[in-house]
Amino acid sequence: MGTYAIGDLQGCYEPLRRLLDYISFDPAIDRVWFVGDLVNRGPASLEVLRFVKSLGSAATVVLGNHDLHLVMQAAGFGKANKEDTLDEILAAPDRDELLAWLRAQPLFHVEGDWAMVHAGLLPGWTVAQAQALSDEASAALVAADYREFLANMWGSEPAVWTDDLAGWDRLRVVINAMTRMRYVTAAGAMEFRAEGSKGPPDKGPAGCVPWFAAPGRASADHAIVCGHWSALGFRDEANILALDTGCLWGGCLTAVRLEDRRVFRQPCAQLAKPSGWD
């Protein structure tokens, strides 16, 4: 048996099935971790969602920004993007159960010395604190009045975490760090807008470092599986396993077996990269 962590799918169903066949994945004995962004931009988001849900307890999922974008769109919040490919899900007869399942997925997962998050963790957060904060945000996402949270979730401020943050601001920082962040400033503020803020580390915004390279990062005692950053690509270091290898953009889909860090890849079909992609 093995535990396989798989990078951003974004609706790439056929490559996912090919990758699972390639590793001889058996849901009766193996487990799979999905790093988030199951849906959007790619061609088969509905199939991906149905399939991952059908894996039941064999699959562990954390939410990405595109997954939350789908939840927002389904609830009537946020602006649609011209590159969205979510209509098939929104029109599906099983959309309500798919969306209820998606909303109930966590933002962060910890197991032994491993953790998983879609984007990243702020430098001051320990893994235990990140788990507690993820639980706070998840509780708001599954609450009876979750639509009120969605109405207040969008936005990039505040950019800095403080322990006394409360209300929607507090949850918004958690969502933004765990699903959108790439770079932080020397003061630990999230940087979303500056030139280079979606680019590779050698072309990053001035004065910023990748979140995982922040000096003294309090979560460095765990190996963290993440995605979200196709310009970063694959990275296997002691404390960081980055898995967004740009399946959607004609790169490949990557799985890593956590027990021995063996890498498995399948190529993906080329799609044009639109401007404004993330």
Q: Can residue 69 be called a binding residue for Mn ion (CB under 5 A)?
A: no
The residue among 36 and 123 lying less far from Mn ion, judged by its C-beta, is: 36
Closest CA to 227 of 51, 107, 57: 107
Applying CB under 5 A, which of residues 64, 120, 210, 246 lies at the interface with Mn ion? Answer: 64
Q: Name which position in 11, 31, 33, 37 contacts Mn ion (CB under 5 A).
A: 37
- Interface segment toward Mn ion; rule CB under 5 A; list 32-40, 96-104, 143-151, 167-175: 32-40
Q: Are residues 198 and 204 in contact, defined by beta-carbon separation less than 8 angstroms?
A: no
Query: What is the DSSP-derived secondary structure letter of residue 147?
Result: H
228, 234, 241, 243: which one binds Mn ion (CB under 5 A): 228
Closer to Mn ion at the Cβ: 25 or 122?
122
Beta strands 223-226; 240-242: pairing state: parallel
CB closer to Mn ion out of 37 and 191? 37
Distance CA 231, CA 234 (A): 9
Binding segment toward Mn ion, per CB under 5 A, in 69-77, 189-197, 225-233, 248-256: 225-233
Contact assessment for residue 213 and residue 242, using Cβ atoms and an 8 Å cutoff:
no
User: How many separate helices (H) and strands (E) can be counted in the chain?
Assistant: 8, 13
